[in-house]
Structure 1
């Protein structure tokens, strides 16, 4: 089976819209592979920080991206552990500081280009669930099924606050809401691969919906589009 015939479910949307949870559940239900593109950008942000490389240096960022030594491995829980340059950076990867840096790094065209082929290499049989912000518009524009998840900023902030509290991270809900607003504006207005739905994406507002309801709708869409 050639790469371009392997089906891809491209799931895009802002942080806190439920992409990660939904994509993992769909992966479990289908047996497909999973691409967490946000984790790759966070890994690049961590690698750059460890090397004291500033996001204002696109050439240096691109060089790190082309040779990024990142390993994802299953953990005892539903999450995964992540190694960058041989170091376990799982906790650092999920911090708000890394998330903010990753958002700035993702706005650098050279960095995005350096990671493009690395992301496309995840496309393997029997299929791929791609979680990100430009999966349907840039990375897999030929994906037969595209979904754009969203939720109200308040709902997204509450979800992130709950997640961080469970991880033992003390952060205020108000500060998270402010960070979401800043990150959304940066993602939507960046010159390369802005956060927008693909023309043929199905938009789904997850505010007030359970995980089971959203997964059910996505699986139904998959069945309709691929049958």
Structure 2
């Protein structure tokens, strides 16, 4: 399926997948593909068009006009552009976080995104993160990691992130939102959240960001070395 070196990082919402994947890719000099941001971008686009997020036919039509451009800046950050408009920050707004689950659960959307992700990562040394990268998108990934953390820790991290951006939300509400998101993600008909049998689990609850990244980089470097030496 791929000729480069694919690292799949899966895990629940709020486990730090995006930040860890981005920093690890930067350290390893790998490409970083923010798959979650692709779904967020479509959710943002749907809301801009006043489309019912539960209307599969409308979402299917919307895909025909959805031409996202993903770039990487000098610090390894993904930048999202839709019709030339920079929507990088827009897709991180709270309302998009609540809407993205509906979009990601649509079968037509999933098929489109999976094909796009495979196309973008083909033949590259690339880190991708999401819910089912190692189980469905790249089942033959060279390295699979399942990143997790307690619900309390994930809620705390998200709360701090939102406060830094000027948003106010109650901790209890945020915790409930994450619990609901976990239940939705684990019970999806398509792209359900689950740990691949050959994935290495990394619990980040009591680890600093740098400790997590160091662990991921060490794991990937070891597997990469084994692949190169194996021929």
Higher mean displacement: 153-162 or 86-95: 86-95
Aligned residue for 1:54, secondary structure, equals coil
In structure 2, distance between residues paired with 1:75 and 1:7: 21
Deviations 1:28-76 (A, max 9, x none): 1111111111100000101111122212221321232354222334568
Residue 115 of structure 1, CA deviation: 1.3
Which whole-Å CA distance do the structure 2 matches of 1:80 and 1:219 have between them?
A: 19
Does 1:88 find its partner at 2:89? Answer: no
> CA 1:123/1:91 → structure 2, altered by over 3 Å: closer, same or farther?
closer
**Contact 1:66/1:115, CA 8 A, preserved across alignment:** no
Deviates more, 1:147-156 or 1:57-66: 57-66
Structure 2 match to 1:168: 166
Distance 1:41 1:65 in 2: 11
The unaligned stretches of length 5 or more in structure 1 are none
Does the C-alpha gap of structure 1 residues 212 and 184 become closer, same or farther in structure 2, counting only changes over 3 Å? same
Residue matched to 2:5: 7
Distance 1:116 1:76, change over 3 A: closer
Deviation, 1:14, is 1.1
Match of 1:131 in 2: 129
Give the alignment's TM-score, normalised by structure 2: 0.90
8 Å Cα contact 1:33-1:122 kept in structure 2: no
Q: Which one of 144, 147, 168 corresponds to residue 146 of structure 1?
A: 144
TM-score by length of 1: 0.92
Q: Larger deviation: 121-130 or 12-21?
A: 121-130
Structure 1 residues 145 and 160, CA gap change in structure 2 (3 angstroms): same
Distance 2:74 2:202 in 1: 31
Counterpart contact for 2:72–2:78, Cα < 8 Å = yes
2-side partners of 1:78 and 1:223: how far apart? 19
Contact 1:65–1:115 under 8 Å retained in 2: no
In the alignment of these two chains, the number of paired residues is: 225
* Stretch moving more, 137-146 or 116-125: 116-125
Give the whole-Å Cα distance in 1 for the aligned partners of 2:111 and 2:162: 31
Separation in 2, partners of 1:148, 1:130:
12
Please, which moves more after superposition, 189-198 or 215-224?
215-224
Are 1:46 and 1:98, in contact at CA under 8 Å, matched by a contact in 2?
yes
Greater Cα offset, 171-180 or 154-163: 171-180
The 1:12–1:99 alpha-carbon spacing in structure 2 relative to 1, beyond 3 Å, is same
**Matching residue of 2:181:** 183
Which of 40, 43, 46 is equivalent to 2:44?
46
